[in-house]
Amino acid sequence: MPQTPAERRQAILDRVRDSGYVRAVDLTSALHVDSSTIRRDMERLERAGLIRRLHGGALPADPADTIDTPYEVRRSQHLAEKTAIGVTAAGLVRDGQSVLIDNGSTAFQVAAALGDHRDLTVVTNDLMVAMCLRSQGVHQVHVTGGLLLDTVFTLVGPVATQAVEGLHVDWAFLGAEGVDPDAGITNINVVELPLKRAMIAAARNIAVVADSSKLGRRSLATVCALDDVDAVITDDGIPVEDRAAYGDVLRCVPVPR
């Protein structure tokens, strides 16, 4: 338990960085101090440029850090692989179902392949995915709201997470920065973690969509274990000898080359 003000502020900062968002009320309980103490600590951390205060809580100071590759760059990388993955993922969805689609360039290709489906209800935190869905004529498109990470067109934070909590959908399609047999599904931007975990909790079926360059990689923070998802849909670029480590969840899609 932190004993000094400096130790307490470091504990707050660690929680913000680990969780992506923390509520002030949770900090008062965890650190056994009153709300005014937490407020002063958060004000000091914000002045130091270490966190960004929101109503009722705090985010990392720069959730749209340059470690998150701009959308235009990601969308053009491994395009054939992502397109094939998107078509396969969309093929799992049936007419009339409800779907959550995460942010990312591979998730975008899932949205792009849903045009032939009828009576879908789709919820997303990615503005580019939402626009793609509307252009495809998807029946109902819901956008979570939240804090915009403008380089990646992604909505995050407590508003976005709360929009997903309590939903019950047929499918969730999640992107990933890394997929590793031991570390599981990992992501570079910790501010996205609460929302991704809420999507997992809301879905009957969960599929991770990631091209083979992401497999065998460990990014900054674990979203969930491999056992928590029903499928990891990737392309056939992963070496055959490496596939067994991922178990039955791995689905490799052939890509014409």
Statement to judge: residues 159 and 202 lie in one domain: yes
Tabulate helix, strand, coil % of the chain (nearest 5): 40, 25, 35
Residue 66 lies in a domain: no
pLDDT tops 80 at residue 61: no
The whole-chain average pLDDT of the chain stands at: 89
65 in a structural domain: no
Residues 6+ away with beta carbon under 8 Å from 20: 59, 60, 63, 156, 189, 190, 191, 192, 193, 194
Which pLDDT score is estimated for 75? 58
Phi first, then psi: what are they for 57, rounded to 5°? -175, -160
Quick one: pLDDT band at residue 56, thresholds 50, 70, 90? confident
Question: Which domain covers residue 34, as residue numbers?
Answer: 5-60
pLDDT, average across residues 239-246: 95
Per the model's pLDDT, the better-predicted residue between 113 and 57 turns out to be 113
Gap between the terminal Cα atoms of the chain: 56
Q: Do 111 and 20 have their domain in common? A: no
Same domain (yes/no): 158, 223: yes
Q: What per-residue confidence (pLDDT) applies to 52?
A: 83
Q: Report the C-alpha gap between 86 and 88 in whole angstroms.
A: 5
Look at the chain and report how many structural domains it folds into.
2
Are residues 109 and 213 both part of a single domain? yes
Rg (CA), the chain: 19
Whether 90 and 214 map to the same domain: the answer is yes
Q: Write out pLDDT tens, residues 135-157.
A: 888 889 999 999 998 667 899 99
Domain presence at residue 75: yes
In a domain, 29, yes or no: yes
Say whether both 146 and 242 belong to one domain: yes
CB 150 within 8 A of CB 64: yes
Q: Name the more confident of 52 and 178.
A: 178
Q: How confident is the model at residue 240 (pLDDT cuts 50, 70, 90)?
A: very high
Is pLDDT at 34 greater than 80 in this prediction? Answer: yes
Q: Please write down the HEC assignment for all residues of 119-181.
A: CCEEEECEHHHHHHHHHCCCCEEEECCCEEECCCCEEECHHHHHHHCCCCEEEEEECCCEEEC
Q: Which two tokens stand for residue 51?
A: 């966190």
- Which CATH number goes with the domain that contains 10? 1.10.10.10
Model pLDDT, residue 152: 76
Q: Please state whether the predicted TM-score (pTM) of the whole model is above 0.85.
A: no
Residue 211 lies in a domain: yes
CA 30 to chain centre: 26
* pLDDT attached to residue 1: 65
Instruction: Report if residue 109 sits inside a domain.
Output: yes
Taking the C-alpha atoms of residue 134 and residue 152, their distance in angstroms, rounded to an integer, is 19
Ramachandran assignment for 32, one of left (phi > 0), alpha (psi -120 to 50 degrees), beta (any other): left
Same domain membership, residue 86 and residue 56? no
Model confidence over 80-107: pLDDT tens digits? 999 999 999 999 999 999 999 999 999 9
Domain with residue 136: its CATH number is 3.40.50.1360
133's tokens: 């869905």
Question: Does residue 103 sit in the same domain as residue 55?
Answer: no
